[in-house]
Chains A and B, each alone.
Chain A
């Protein structure tokens, strides 16, 4: 994979590398969001309607 990406034209190489990083970040964010909410605020966490303003 790395050799193939290295052999691409400059524009494609830069874009594909950024998108590779994006895949890693997006999957980590997708995996971490729900556990983070559950650990930090707990299941059923919600502000009552009309509250907060």
Chain B
């Protein structure tokens, strides 16, 4: 083994062997646009620029594939993209209400507008009921701590690693997907239990709430996908070549 290692060039011996590193240069270029697009879309406010970046990433990957370059499987890119978009949107949306940003004029406009359409607690008695301000639903304030401080940051990190085809990303995406399912059950129960105050005070009612939230709720579908794909395509950082001391 030692003789074999000595024959290797130092750079070659240290070279990572992850799947992601075997993809063509277009993959990394497309991923820059993909990340920017996802972050911008997730801000709500710069969405149109985000869409441009996402379309650009798609075109780069499509052209690279036509040129015969090796790229990441499309299914992995699609799953990673929607999970990251959702995590960014949820983190920002709930983060605005959890933090003092809800006192800014932009925050007030956003929260009140959202509230009048889909959740009365963001509109009726806004900033006037809980000690933290923002939404007047106490259960909502408690629930906000979980996604903003734990689930969504974990999900964003997991998803970035997942898109880099790292095993840790795959494993943590499964963990956070279960957390996500639990969070949605708690959130749906919370909004239903306070029906009169929350859904009853909205412009679009129950139907509007489901129509708006269904695309995000359907992300539980990521779980059966992750459970049944070939796990061998995900690998951790390769171990450094072993060299005996001396």
Residues in A lying within 8 Å of B, measured CB to CB = 1, 4-5, 8-9, 11-12, 15-16, 18-23, 25-27, 29-34, 36-38, 40-47, 49-53
**A-B contact count, CB below 8 Å?**
132
CB-based contact B125/A49 at 8 Å: yes
A51–B103 CA distance with the chains assembled, in angstroms: 17
In the assembled complex, the CB of A11 is this many whole angstroms from the nearest CB of chain B, namely 6
Determine if B114 and A37 form an interchain contact, defined as CB atoms under 8 angstroms apart: yes
Whether the Cβ atoms of B112 and A47 lie closer than 8 Å is yes
Main secondary structure of the interface of B (DSSP, over half): helix
Known contacts A4-B73, A19-B221, A53-B125: A34-B85 contact under CB 8 Å: no
Within 8 A of A (CB), among B43-98: 44-45, 47-48, 50-51, 54, 58, 61-62, 65, 73-75, 78-79, 81-82, 85-86, 89
Whether A38 and B222, one on each chain, are in contact in the complex, defined by CB atoms closer than 8 angstroms, is: no
Q: Is B240 an interface residue (CB 8 A)?
A: no
CB distance B128 to A16 under 8 Å? Answer: no
Query: A34–B110 contact, CB under 8 A?
Result: yes
Q: B128 near A18 (CB under 8 angstroms)?
A: no
Indicate whether A41 sits within 8 Å of B116 (C-beta atoms), given known contacts A52-B125, A53-B125.
Answer: yes
Tell me whether A26 and B82 are in contact (CB under 8 A): yes
| Residues of A close to B201: CB separation below 8 A | 52
Q: How many residues belonging to B are interface residues under a CB distance threshold of 8 Å?
A: 51
Question: How far, in Å, is B163 (CB) from chain A's closest CB?
Answer: 14
B residues 192-218 near A (Cβ < 8 Å) are 201, 212, 215-216, 218
Contact B123 A47 (CB under 8 A): yes
Contact yes or no, B75 A4, CB < 8 A: yes
Whether A23 and B110, one on each chain, are in contact in the complex, defined by CB atoms closer than 8 angstroms, is: no
- CB-defined contacts of B158 to chain A, threshold 8 Å: none
CA gap between A3 and B83 in the complex, in Å? 23
B144 within 8 A of A: no
What A residues does B128 contact at CB under 8 A?
A: 49-50
**Set of chain B residues within 8 Å of A4, measured between Cβ atoms:** 73-75
Across-interface contacts of B61 in A (CB, < 8 A): 1
> Is the CB–CB distance between A27 and B41 below 8 Å?
yes
A18 to B225, CA, bound (A): 12
Smallest distance from the beta carbon of A31 to chain B beta carbons, Å?
3
Q: Which residues of A contact B51 (CB under 8 A)?
A: 27, 31
A residues within 8 A CB of B113?
Answer: 33-34, 36-38, 40-41, 45
